[in-house]
Structure 1
């Protein structure tokens, strides 16, 4: 629905002013608290602004090592061409802010041509190039490199003899680098050109780890002398085809045991001596360093920034990094875990084959003892059981988290008898099976999502509980308890929902449970009965870089870039964003404070708006550049599930976070400048909660 005239339009009681000069639209979105679809108002360029605000450009520009090594690689390349008595003509593919092009111009390139397909960034780069005085040296072309033309009067007057580009992601080739390099050599570059970087080497390392295994498998759950068994389809499936990207360096070394040395499996030569293959296979034999199951395959890569491989940019984790005491934090290039399709238990000293494959955009891996034929699929495989697609990595691990399951088991033991009829409200939850194993008379579980529905039915069939558990396909709005064969005594949830993004979005359980209760004439107990939001002032070690101003980078003024990021962020960013904080260390600047508590036994419609201001205290001279938030669900007085710290918080110490949950992160504006105080101070946290609308808003005001 598009509007071009100045009108007012009322949707769900909300008035909007529509400007004449800008086209706007209403879009449907799900309210993550209530679970209902609503209309939201969007400016025409909302998607552009969101892409700019969420881009990784700023993170890259704070990557000092990356910037300096690209600079060094360009310096070597330009010197080499000069020594040959030739003019220097540089092509920069995907220039972004124009940084690499300006480096080339400052180093004396005769011509620099930069292409950037994302128009808002191309416009920004043009301004930055002008402000830094390089308009006469750099020609910016707002096109994809594959659309560039070469010849007199065209995009490039002639082929270039130096290519500089950064078209890499965590998987190295996921941004289409293979096609980009091959096309550039075929159409845009001289035969004897120099490429920065010249080569990438990819490494893998086999590990055994209970934690890593839980991200890809659902083992059986022990329930008081009985078991909830995982279907064989899940146990034997290799898992989702996508990589599991994460800050591998933050994985404690005592949570895994390496089975091999880091092993090079691919070498990608970007110099054009031969085309990069769009599909390739590598088979490497390795001797096992220890005994155990091969649960995961760690992967990372490095870049050779010069033709002689003297300048190396490594993305290796600390235990394999060439300079572990001088590592660069980066979020744009992390490491990854892949999961083998063959389940092997190996012995120390045994020789195992690592099979590595890639197509034009993705990677996959397997292991084998003997023949590799038919072990690792020729084409990128898919999840056969569909459960690995239904459940995300952290959700899969959450299903078999011992602490969580012990809380559920103890809660159900206290509240379930052979006469109890239970209704489970959570997406893809194994609670119904646990309740059945504990003797519950009958369990209904609401699974309107097709993928969750299929997976839970597989679990029920595997455990032969079809007569005890009924899967309801209806949405909660369509559910009437009077239509069920049994009267519900207990509503229980983990609660976890696929639509949830922030920890408190799982408050959706409250809305759904209260909706069901309205149609019941008997007393129904709700568990969990309460949700509490906590907040703590923290000092993020590196995470602040993703939102901090760049200002000046390697001597170039990038303030124009800061402006468009700030403007886009103000319009589209939420005050709080989700992050798995176990990957992003922070220290406590004060003790946690209760921000908001919701009683799930109360009727949603009977609670008026909640407006309150809480003080999050900062102790002494502790640095603080943001707030971390999480929730705790209370089942019984001493039975709670937290999405936050797993150990008591100590001021000034690193906070240990749950591996299976994301927390809420608020970063103060321009967090590059850490705030310190000479005496105890505070952060005011303003909360506005309107239960009837499902609106929950936070505002943060540092008092220094």
Structure 2
């Protein structure tokens, strides 16, 4: 069955009506899921297998029939492990219908259909009894309900219900317990993701609004690959604290709770950020441990088990404070059903800690992402924009800024422009910039307009035309690099208001391409094949069908500063967009090839934009330094890059004989880029599997 869905186009700004099958969301969920990453996580799989075997052994030693309940079975892998370990029967629960169907198929394919029952329900809807989903209560509870924050997928309510209704009182649990750790640090880099610092412009200091500094920030966790944050980027102010543990073999409460740890400050500094992760003990003795600790905690970082489905967490204190060596402090973590939050105090736990996470009160944390905060705090980036503005502004300039929540219009005023206007896409974004203007007594110097570009007239501009049109460009709706071409569509809509010879900044944008070998990221799209001896190739078929669901595959947005890779080609410009001109009616087509000049396995290509602010000033949203001799890449941490994964990886001998051939078509009517890649003159396809 086909339906028409209305979706806001991030590039053109229009509302597109797209004909889609009712199965489209299912296909996209499967294609973009982390199932491949989990199946390729050998450390996770081995630790679960060891824990399950040990639990089955303990139940059998008591002379009991082994009945397993697997909540969140996914592919059914853990259920098959349980039967292989000697369990008599297993109930595998999966709420997501396509995955439940896949699990059922995988279970049958591996010959376990007589001992594993797949139940397509949420675990809290499962019943036990002669007419129920389960004939009896289980005596082993196996779960994989965790996210980076441990409890964010509703683990606590699910465990609470399972112990009350689905498992025996003295059940075994795999994992047996989870322990959450936290460490207080000072970090200018991480703190810049949640607070704005003072901004120096032409001898004047712009101060952030007081309300922003008093705000607890975004309520959601900041989950990142903490292994990619250098230990030199933060200072440990205290020891690693054990905050709390959850015993999954006993009744678990989902009620809000707080836990505190008293510690002595090791190093004086500014208390700003909490780094946090957790461990899973797969057995009661704690001898089988699956740890989420970052690589720099390992004596040998090479032994670090990379995974992307579970990462580490960064929490920001409501306000920074100075702490002194030898000072005693109390770190408190609180949680509800789904979230954690931290507070730092001088005294012991009072029992009056916040029982709910405090919402953002300044709205800036709702408008700007954490990487956007980092971008606005980037002094080098700011200096580049100021240098470009100085080159195009005149004392009689009438400026119009088109970006979301940008400080460029304030900069333009301070640099001497006669009049400055700014188009804001949302009322919330407009209010955030108003706070900046109020905090610096600039209310009457920059006029904020909340109209769409096509609705703007000279009446909004005091009867004048625009002599300088500027943007960063940054838009909150952008995911892929070319989505920021929304600036180009705005420029086209405003063409009638530009005076002859008007300056447009950026003047143009160039899309670049680079063939790469990923250190680890390739795993999220690699074929599964077999996992721990079980055939899970059904997942490969499902993902392949999902990727074929539309006529062409798509690039994915990824923050590549978190995912190391090696360049196998030279960076190559593939398409230019001239903002001096209006968006053309005809497609822009680019075809060519890029030689593979380094030895390695080419997993795909990276695509990013470089904005030519003026003829001689460029800012890159991709590579920020030249590629090293070894092919190491340094990526812009403020924007996500586009990654197009090849279905098969390509072997490169590095002699330049083989190349990545590309065919790209930018369709102005939809603001998207259709892309196709092939190996030229030949390639070796190797199916990559971990197991």
TM-score by length of 1: 0.93
| Match for residue 625 of structure 1 among 587, 600, 603 | 603
Contact 1:126/1:140, CA 8 A, preserved across alignment: yes
Shift of 1:376: 5.1
Match of 1:112 in 2: 90
Match of 2:563 in 1: 584
Map residues 59-208 of structure 1 onto 2, 5 A cutoff.
Answer: 59-208=37-186
Match of 1:9 in 2: none
Map residues 265-414 of structure 1 onto 2, 5 A cutoff.
Answer: 265-272=243-250, 274-321=251-298, 324-370=301-347, 377-414=354-391
Secondary structure at the aligned position of 2:527 is classed as coil
Match of 2:580 in 1: 601
Contact 2:271/2:323, CA 8 A, preserved across alignment: yes
Q: What's the CA shift string for 1:639-668, capped at 9, x where partnerless?
A: 111101121112533211111111111111
Q: Distance in 2 between matches of 1:374 and 1:140?
A: 44
Residue 118 and residue 218 in structure 1: after superposition, are their counterparts in 2 closer, same or farther (change >3 A)?
same
Shift of 1:323: 6.5
Contact 2:187/2:234, CA 8 A, preserved across alignment: yes
Q: Distance in 1 between matches of 2:500 and 2:659?
A: 47
Contact 1:589/1:651, CA 8 A, preserved across alignment: no
Map residues 418-433 of structure 1 onto 2, 5 A cutoff.
Answer: 418-433=395-410
Contact 2:68/2:91, CA 8 A, preserved across alignment: yes
Map residues 485-496 of structure 1 onto 2, 5 A cutoff.
Answer: 485=462, 486-496=464-474
Aligned residue pairs total 678
Shift of 1:628: 1.0
Contact 2:597/2:654, CA 8 A, preserved across alignment: no
Unaligned segments of structure 2, at least 5 residues: 684-691
Q: What's the CA shift string for 1:429-463, capped at 9, x where partnerless?
A: 01111111212222100013011011011111111
Secondary structure at the aligned position of 2:548 is classed as helix
Contact 2:217/2:360, CA 8 A, preserved across alignment: yes
Q: What's the CA shift string for 1:265-307, capped at 9, x where partnerless?
A: 11111111x4334211112122222222122111100000011
Q: Distance in 2 between matches of 1:610 and 1:119?
A: 41
RMSD in angstroms over aligned alpha carbons? 1.7
Q: Distance in 2 between matches of 1:670 and 1:499?
A: 31
Contact 1:342/1:375, CA 8 A, preserved across alignment: no
Q: Distance in 2 between matches of 1:239 and 1:412?
A: 31
Q: Distance in 1 between matches of 2:477 and 2:30?
A: 24
Contact 1:649/1:655, CA 8 A, preserved across alignment: yes
Q: Distance in 1 between matches of 2:654 and 2:460?
A: 64
Secondary structure at the aligned position of 2:317 is classed as coil
Q: What's the CA shift string for 1:101-144, capped at 9, x where partnerless?
A: 11111111111111111111111111111111111111222222
Shift of 1:372: 5.9
Q: What's the CA shift string for 1:11-39, capped at 9, x where partnerless?
A: xxxxxxxxxxxx11111122222222221
Residue 112 and residue 690 in structure 1: after superposition, are their counterparts in 2 closer, same or farther (change >3 A)?
closer
Secondary structure at the aligned position of 2:514 is classed as strand
Match of 2:687 in 1: none
Match of 1:5 in 2: none
Q: Distance in 2 between matches of 1:29 and 1:156?
A: 42
Contact 1:587/1:651, CA 8 A, preserved across alignment: no
Q: Distance in 1 between matches of 2:184 and 2:630?
A: 35
Q: What's the CA shift string for 1:306-358, capped at 9, x where partnerless?
A: 11111000000123347643111111100010111132111222222111100
Return 96-105 or 36-45, whichever deviates more: 36-45
Shift of 1:589: 0.7
Q: Distance in 2 between matches of 1:598 and 1:520?
A: 19
Secondary structure at the aligned position of 1:35 is classed as coil
Unaligned segments of structure 1, at least 5 residues: 1-22
Shift of 1:574: 4.3
Shift of 1:48: 1.3
Match of 1:8 in 2: none
Match of 2:661 in 1: 684
Match of 1:536 in 2: 514
Shift of 1:598: 1.2
TM-score by length of 2: 0.95
Contact 1:262/1:320, CA 8 A, preserved across alignment: no
Contact 1:268/1:276, CA 8 A, preserved across alignment: no
Return 206-215 or 643-652, whichever deviates more: 643-652
Q: Distance in 2 between matches of 1:319 and 1:582?
A: 16
Secondary structure at the aligned position of 2:560 is classed as coil
Q: What's the CA shift string for 1:369-427, capped at 9, x where partnerless?
A: 23666995221110111111110010111112112111111112222233211100001
Q: What's the CA shift string for 1:495-549, capped at 9, x where partnerless?
A: 1111211112111111101211224454421011010111111101111111111
Q: Distance in 2 between matches of 1:266 and 1:436?
A: 52
Q: Distance in 1 between matches of 2:670 and 2:533?
A: 50
Match of 2:689 in 1: none
Match of 2:651 in 1: 675
